[in-house]
Amino acid sequence: MTGKFISLEGGEGSGKSTAIVCIQRWLDAENIDYIMTREPGGTVLAEEIRGLILASRDEAVDDMTELLLMFAARAQHMSQKIRPALEQGLWVISDRFIDSSFVYQGRARGGDTEKLNTLTEWVVGDNKPDATLLLDVPVDIGMQRVADRKNADRLDKESIEFHEKVRQGFLEQADLEPERIKVIDASQPLEQVSAQIVTQLDALKTAWKRGV
């Protein structure tokens, strides 16, 4: 039986790191074998590309350059880590995946959706996540959380307008694929956020046991 693939999405400061801890505890309690990974990154080469993408620099980064670097990292990630793990029956939990490209390089930067669809077909194919947990918070709350970070990256430093586009972009993605993308109200207290996540994980486990 192949494993399940879960991605976590959300704007800056949405609480993905805290959600990952909740998911790990649930998986451990359920005795489910899994791997944790992230995008961009997940392999040695993909992590090197991540550094190129997120580094603050004086040179302007062309939108197409950013897009192609993201998919180059994703191609390596898919072939060397995600597909092999799923084939071994492991659950794969990824901090960000394809929806981030459609939002950051697509809606927020005005990228070409047709190009994104083509790249997705080439690189991801039928390996979209079984479930995507979208951690949604108002931008002002997210940016307050980001302000406490010691090492803000290039995307953290984008304008408030950009981050608003990101939030709306993710919600639009959820509207397009409501069966896959589940919106989690991440502005609530931690216990309530965790309860929302566990509800989705329980449903996914039930489907997995049925071989769905």
Binding-site members for ATP are: 10-17
Spatial CA neighbour of 141 closest among 17, 15, 8? 15
Distances (CA, A) of 2 to 49, 73, 87, 91: 29, 23, 5, 8
| Binding-site positions | 10-17
At residue 52, φ and ψ (nearest 5 deg) are -65, -40
Spatial CA neighbour of 132 closest among 99, 101, 89? 99
Please give the Cα distance from 178 to 131 (Å, whole number): 10
Cβ atoms of 163 and 139 within 8 Å: the answer is: yes
Cross-strand bridge partners of residue 95: 8, 38
